[in-house]
Amino acid sequence: MPHTTSPRAVPLHADDWRVCVAPMMDWTDRHCRYFHRLLSPRARLYTEMVTSAALVRGKQLRLLEHSQQEHPLALQLGGSDPHELAQAARFGAEAGYDEINLNVGCPSDRVQSGRFGACLMREPALVGDCMKAMRDAVSVPVTVKCRIGVDDQDDYAGLQHFTEIMLEVGVEVLAVHARKAWLQGLSPKENREIPPLDYERVYRLKREFPQLMVVINGGITTVEQVCMHLAQLDGVMLGRAAYHDPYLLARLEHALYGEPLPTRESVLQHLRTYIEAELARGTALKHISRHLLGLYQGEPGARAFRRTISEGAHLPGAGWALLEQAFAPCSVAA
Angle between helices 199-208 and 156-168 (to 10 degrees): 40
d(CA 44, CA 74) in angstroms, rounded, equals 7
Q: Is 115 annotated as a binding residue?
A: no
Q: Is 239 annotated as a binding residue?
A: yes
Q: What is the DSSP string of 1-35?
A: -PPPP-TTSS---GGGGSEEE---TTTSSHHHHHH
Q: How many residues does the chain have?
A: 334
d(CA 80, CA 228) in angstroms, rounded, equals 35
234: helix, strand or coil: coil
Q: Is 219 annotated as a binding residue?
A: yes
With left for phi above 0 and alpha for psi between -120 and 50, is residue 290 left, alpha or beta? Answer: alpha
d(CA 132, CA 86) in angstroms, rounded, equals 9
Q: Is 177 annotated as a binding residue?
A: yes
Q: Is 213 annotated as a binding residue?
A: no
Phi, psi of 248 (to 5 degrees): -55, -35
Q: What is the DSSP string of 155-215?
A: SHHHHHHHHHHHHHTT--EEEEESS-B-SSS--HHHHTTSSPP-HHHHHHHHHH-TTSEEE
Q: Is 59 annotated as a binding residue?
A: no
d(CA 273, CA 292) in angstroms, rounded, equals 15
Q: Is 23 annotated as a binding residue?
A: yes
Q: Is 145 annotated as a binding residue?
A: yes
Q: Is 217 annotated as a binding residue?
A: yes
| Annotated catalytic residue within 20, 106, 119, 146 | 106
251: helix, strand or coil: helix
Can 106 be counted among the known catalytic residues? yes
Closest CA to 219 of 202, 205, 231: 202
Residues annotated catalytic, as ranges:
106
**Binding site residue list for FMN:** 23-25, 76, 145, 177, 217-219, 239-240
**Binding site residue list:** 23-25, 76, 145, 177, 217-219, 239-240
